[in-house]
Amino acid sequence: MKAEKIDQSGGEVRIVRTTSTFDCGGRCPLRLHVKDNKIIRVEGDDFSEPGQLRTCLRCRAYRQMVHHPERLMYPQKRTGARGEGKFEQISWDEAYDTLAGELIRVKETYGNQGIFLATGGGYLASLHNPGFAASRLLAQFGGFVTHYGNISSEGAVWASLVQYGSVMVGHSREDMLNSKLIILWGWDPARMISGTNTMYHLIKAKENGARIVSIDPRYHDTAATVADEWIPIFPGTDTAMMAAMANVMIREKLYDRVFLDKYTVGFDKFSEYITGREDGVEKTPAWAAGISGVDASTIERLAREYATTRPAALMDCQGPARSAMGEQYNRCTATLCAMTGNVGRRGGSAGGGLMGIPVGHMFRMSAIPPGKNPFELDGPKIKGTLDIGLRVVKRVHINKIFDAILKGKEGGYPSDIKMAWSMCNNYLNQTGNSNKAARALKKLEFFAVNELFMTPQAKYADLVLPVTSAAERSDLTRPWPSGPYYTFVNRAIEPLGECKSDFDIVTELAERLGIKDFNPYSEDEWLRMFVEKNPETGPQITDYEKFKREGIHRVKLPEPIVAFREQIEDIENNPFPTPSGRIEIFSQRVADLNNPICPPIPKYMSTPEDRKDPLFEQYPLQLLTPHPKNRVHSELYKVEWLREVEPHRVWINPVDAEPRGIRDGDEVYVFNARGKVAITAWVTERIIPGVISIFEGAWYDPDENGIDRGACANTLTKDAYSGGGAAVMNTSLVQVERGD
């Protein structure tokens, strides 16, 4: 693929309007000041009308990442042991020959099912997203094994699909200004963003008089900034509290019977569970208090307030859903939203945890003519969670990749994996049980990684291919849940060192594997086609050059987007896309699964590694692993500016710290049967006693005794998934002790 060279002569400062492509819940418009092929300054959005999109701390440090001295600059092959990090420089020719040679060797020796492709969310733009290009390459090469299930939000996706038949469960953020009560239930947008303009609108909603309540084991930054009340709760027990709120509403006849009759099915069955007719246990506030740690009186008060304040937005998210029965939390919120008649209404909410709106999901690959589309795979389509058809593909759950490598067919997995090729992810660090992942990577015959940095996972590779950053190529991207705008990634600098884009790497491999006509257009031709031929953007973005120059196209909404408004306004003509055409509080599809941990109505159930597990005696603290403010997962880890923002520490309440002799700033060990990390303690009342918190994404760094000195949260988590497919990242019991 050809890309025109940028003129870097003259030593002039150029200003390039662009954006980053991180997997975070925002998308900041950026103005990069470039001189001599170097980004020397980053400025944010200068939109002068209301609706400016303020740049976050991570994007402000963008150039520190792009020009970081540890960026990988040339292809390397491993010379030491796997994981040791010893490599030597090789030529691109040798790199390509090695990778093509291994693909052919494994295919000929074991068949295509020996090849595993691991893609990820590290780069959220369209053209250079290597997942699509590499999937197509390997499909044309005869097939491959890959993962299914979204590591982020499978619980919320599952819940939304069960309950509503749709994942578009969000309102555009300005609709919060119509709310009188906003409940942040496991949602902390000051840190995880949920759309670049979310905090702005939340603050405006507060100024507008909305009462804001936060229900979270942590007193997080959003609560500290806007909440009127913090209700601390034990992890994994939200559904018990919600069931008790439903109980109060039923007992006191505070729920919206008309709404339930008209728009939902199965409330009677839910009601039987709540009142105890189903199992003999009434889900009273006192019952929920014993499980959740929240006072019965608080539960009653909130139930009444939520049921009688119209409209009210119950905002759930994905963190609590990344747990042993996570999908129940999102199903329960959606049920409460229906019981209070807030679905499809301005200032209300639908729950479901995803918050997406149907604007900005642009540049779908179908826009390109058949036969010319490098992202279109030939052969019959196999249904999967990814919206692409894959040929000869076998799949393992994303949180079981390393278990599948270790156990293969004998462990019940679809094949024996012999080689893996990874791009846009750091799954050793980011999926459950990193120590197990490290063992699995040692077992592979061959492992190749496309990367920008020598990540913990890349250290296990035989071959590391250096890729360009988003500043070194052009592309199209989007803010993932909220919009409403489209962004253009403008190439600001020429590729650094010997870096290449993943698409160029895959294209070169296609040639070597005898696959013709893989990438027939230039970068700009591709992008123009994506914009112009896309049914969503084509009619809207009529001036491609202007879009490119300005780096952004803002969509003017005549009124806020409200999920399911069409259904609520006219259910007869606009049924919900569920089998019954209604919101399914009871789901026959789920009942038919006949899975004891997947009830057809939302329920609270005890799980392994909760406070009732006998293991609790040995490991009496619940571990939370939220997303870090100063990174995007494990990305930006090396950026010193961002490290200064928030040192990596474990949050621990004085009630738990004192009996262990732990003072603020002490070095401590956090451990369970899966691993042990060394980390500094932050003794704080901002977390409920009995629970500790370590932000995910710090780099795994085991010493000779196997103690993870980097304190990667996943050294302690489990490689398991829930009945609905949620990765179990927030259900781990641990113990903490003072360091030596």
Ligand X SMILES: Nc1nc2c(c(=O)[nH]1)N[C@H]1C(S)=C(S)[C@@H](COP(=O)(O)OP(=O)(O)OC[C@H]3O[C@@H](n4cnc5c(=O)[nH]c(N)nc54)[C@H](O)[C@@H]3O)O[C@H]1N2
Q: Give the burial class of 321: count Cβ atoms within 10 A of its Cβ; 0-12 exposed, 13-18 middle, 19 or more buried.
A: buried
228 to 247: interface string for ligand X, x by CB under 6 A: -----x-xx-x---------
Closest to 153 (Cα-Cα) out of 327, 332, 364: 327
Structure tokens at 170: 């969000």
429 to 458: interface string for ligand X, x by CB under 6 A: -x-------------------xxxx-x---
Closer residue to Mo ion in complex, CB, 496/713: 713
Closer residue to ligand X in complex, CB, 498/566: 498
Any contact of residue 578 with Mo ion (CB under 5 A)? no
Q: Are 8 and 50 in contact (CB under 8 A)?
A: no
Smallest distance, Å, CB 152 to ligand X? 3
612-631 binders of ligand X (CB under 6 A): 624-629, 631
Closer residue to Mo ion in complex, CB, 56/367: 56
Stretch that binds Mo ion, among 146-154, 213-221, 467-475, 677-685 (CB under 5 A): 146-154
Smallest distance, Å, CB 152 to Mo ion? 3
Closer residue to Mo ion in complex, CB, 270/480: 480
Among 3, 23, 301, 680, binds ligand X (CB under 6 A): 23
569 to 588: interface string for ligand X, x by CB under 6 A: --------------------
Q: Listing from the earlier edge strand, what are the strands of the sheet with 552-554?
A: 475-477, 485-489, 552-554
Closest to 337 (Cα-Cα) out of 322, 324, 355: 355
Question: Do strands 475-477 and 485-489 pair parallel, antiparallel, or not at all (unpaired)?
Answer: antiparallel
Q: Name every residue whose Cβ is closer than 8 Å to that of residue 7 and which is 6 or more positions away in sequence.
A: none
Q: Name every residue whose Cβ is closer than 8 Å to that of residue 11 and which is 6 or more positions away in sequence.
A: 35, 36
Closest to 352 (Cα-Cα) out of 178, 493, 513, 165: 165
* Residue nearest Mo ion, Cβ-based: 152
Q: Name every residue whose Cβ is closer than 8 Å to that of residue 168 and which is 6 or more positions away in sequence.
A: 354, 356, 357, 358, 563
312 to 351: interface string for ligand X, x by CB under 6 A: -----xxxx-x-----------------------------
Among 121, 149, 352, 600, binds ligand X (CB under 6 A): 121
Stretch that binds ligand X, among 84-92, 191-199, 343-351, 537-545 (CB under 6 A): 191-199
- Pure H helices in 111-233: 130-140, 154-164, 189-192, 198-207, 221-226
Closer residue to ligand X in complex, CB, 235/408: 235
Any contact of residue 194 with Mo ion (CB under 5 A)? no
Tell me which of Mo ion, ligand X, none is bound by residue 632, counting a contact when its beta carbon lies within the kind-specific cut-off of 5 to 8 angstroms: ligand X
Closest to 227 (Cα-Cα) out of 126, 169, 302, 324: 302
- CA dist 363 and 544 (Å) reads 13
Closer residue to Mo ion in complex, CB, 368/424: 424
Any contact of residue 671 with ligand X (CB under 6 A)? no
Smallest distance, Å, CB 409 to ligand X? 26
Closer residue to ligand X in complex, CB, 187/259: 187
Any contact of residue 729 with ligand X (CB under 6 A)? yes
Closer residue to Mo ion in complex, CB, 152/178: 152
130 to 149: interface string for ligand X, x by CB under 6 A: x-------------------
Stretch that binds ligand X, among 282-290, 307-315, 555-563, 710-718 (CB under 6 A): 710-718
Q: Listing from the earlier edge strand, what are the strands of the sheet with 229-231?
A: 229-231, 211-215, 181-185, 312-316
Closest to 300 (Cα-Cα) out of 251, 364, 362: 251
Closest to 483 (Cα-Cα) out of 53, 60, 182, 167: 53
Any contact of residue 633 with ligand X (CB under 6 A)? yes
Helix (H) or strand (E) holding 670: strand 667-672
Stretch that binds ligand X, among 172-180, 244-252, 419-427, 512-520 (CB under 6 A): 419-427
Smallest distance, Å, CB 323 to ligand X? 6
Any contact of residue 152 with Mo ion (CB under 5 A)? yes
Question: Following CA atoms 15, 21, 24, 30 in sequence, which dihedral angle do they give, to the nearest 10 degrees?
Answer: 10
Q: Alpha carbon of 269 to those of 238, 316, 321, 585, 599: distances in Å? A: 20, 23, 23, 8, 11
Q: Are 26 and 193 in contact (CB under 8 A)?
A: yes
- CA dist 251 and 271 (Å) reads 10
Q: Alpha carbon of 24 to those of 113, 152, 187, 631, 636: distances in Å? A: 33, 11, 14, 9, 12
Smallest distance, Å, CB 69 to ligand X? 15
- Count, residues near ligand X per rule CB under 6 A: 63
Among 83, 120, 266, 341, binds ligand X (CB under 6 A): 120
- CA dist 228 and 504 (Å) reads 52
User: Which residues sit at the interface with ligand X, rule CB under 6 A?
Assistant: 23-25, 120-123, 130, 151-153, 185-188, 191-193, 215-218, 220, 233, 235-236, 238, 317-320, 322, 423-427, 430, 450-453, 455, 467, 502, 624-629, 631-635, 696-697, 713-714, 717, 729-730
- Binding-site ranges for Mo ion (CB under 5 A): 152
